[in-house]
Amino acid sequence: MLLGRTPDGPIVGRSVVITGLGAVTCCGVGVDALWNELLHPTLSGERRVPDFDPSVWFGPKEARRLDRFAQMSVAAAELARLDAGALDEDPDRTGVIFATGVGGFETLAEQVLVCDRKGQNRVSPFLVPMMMANAGAANISMRFGWHGPSEAICTACAAGTHALTAAARLVASGRCDVAIGGGSEAAIQEVAIGAFTNMTALSTSGESRPFDVRRDGFVIAEGAAALVLEAKDRALARGARIYAEIAGGASTADAHHITAPDPEGAGAVACMELALEDAGIGPAEVGHINAHGTSTPLNDLAEARAIAKVFGEPGPPVTSTKGLTGHALGAAGAIEAVASALTIFHATIPPTAGLEELDPEIGLDVVAGGPRPFTPAPVISNSFGFGGHNGCLVLVPAG
């Protein structure tokens, strides 16, 4: 990753690798549940995390004082840290950058009703620490006793990708030796569903069909994912398992509309090109694209046009994991980064669940029907959010 540019040329940072993965998704708790379902998708309808049990991670009092999104943040981070093995980290040189779209929305909605029905004096004193968007990051750093940067990113559906890019730069710059990046969301609540429904963003069929001619909106999901990022030389020295390297990332803005993407994908094009430049690779070297692919008519077509402008048609094989996982808003980019790392590690591209008939306006090679063998190569993971926020992450095999 680049740290900046000077008149003498670019400043290249330390190599950053992924040594731990954690996921809490509608597929279940754990990375294996996510990967197995990605390869052989069966889910449809509502995308809640099944049987998530906070008591596995928290005592009764602590669980009551954390919103579901923060509970899942900590759970995903614990899983990723366990997966990474013995980090032997210096707490002062270890950080957390965690994302969310809306934070503790369930708690806020509940307490608004309490205030309305029972009065102001009955509002929970824990409302603010439960609803605040930084609660995920804060509780992770407190759980582990890490004193490095602990920050939250809230850029709608691009937040997870932005958090991972920022966490990787903490390591690339030398500020941290280890960082956890990721995102969490738990907003399947009637007010949120009503809002998304009334703005015609949700699927009326209840099915997520990225790039399909019948796509009619996204399926809202909840979940969390966390990645342990580590300086490559450090990871090698301790004999860590390495899933992939984060080689680059980028962020741009459409500056077009608060909810609709630029129809020609200009901001997305710029973001992908900048991410590739940051990684020091060209479009021809990319072997797979993990698309944002929300299953909304406007997003999928705009993203397809953007991909075609950067990579040509049909371009590298494309997948949208949201056909399976639905759209977990601020957690989506982190969940998809886990999938991208596993795609490289297992040399297999998951199919796009829900895709049966490719939109004839989309000339991409969208993987569907079953997994596809993959010779590990650079993977670009896209996230594009309300507000025109664009994020792209480049993962490469760790050579």
Active-site amino acid positions: 157, 292, 327
Location of structure tokens 């990375």: 31
- Three-class SS of residue 106? helix
Q: How many Å apart are CA 390 and CA 327, to the nearest integer?
A: 16
Handedness of CA 226, 231, 236, 239 (dihedral sign): negative
Q: Which two tokens stand for residue 376?
A: 């590990």
Location of structure tokens 């999938």: 339
**Nearest-10 Cα torsion for 133, 139, 145, 151:** -10
Contact 224, 185 (CB under 8 A): yes
Greatest pairwise CA separation for the chain in angstroms: 65
- Three-class SS of residue 252? strand
Torsion region of 240: left, alpha or beta (phi above 0 gives left; psi -120 to 50 gives alpha): beta
Q: How many Å apart are CA 167 and CA 179, to the nearest integer?
A: 6
Q: How far is CA 295 from the centre of its chain?
A: 16
Q: How many Å apart are CA 27 and CA 220, to the nearest integer?
A: 14
What residues form DSSP beta bridges with 179?
A: 95, 229
How many Cα neighbours within 13 Å face the side chain of 169?
Answer: 17
How many Cα neighbours within 13 Å face the side chain of 332?
Answer: 38
- Three-class SS of residue 151? strand
> Do you find a cis peptide bond into 263, omega within 30 degrees of 0?
no
Q: How many Å apart are CA 239 and CA 322, to the nearest integer?
A: 34
- Three-class SS of residue 248? strand
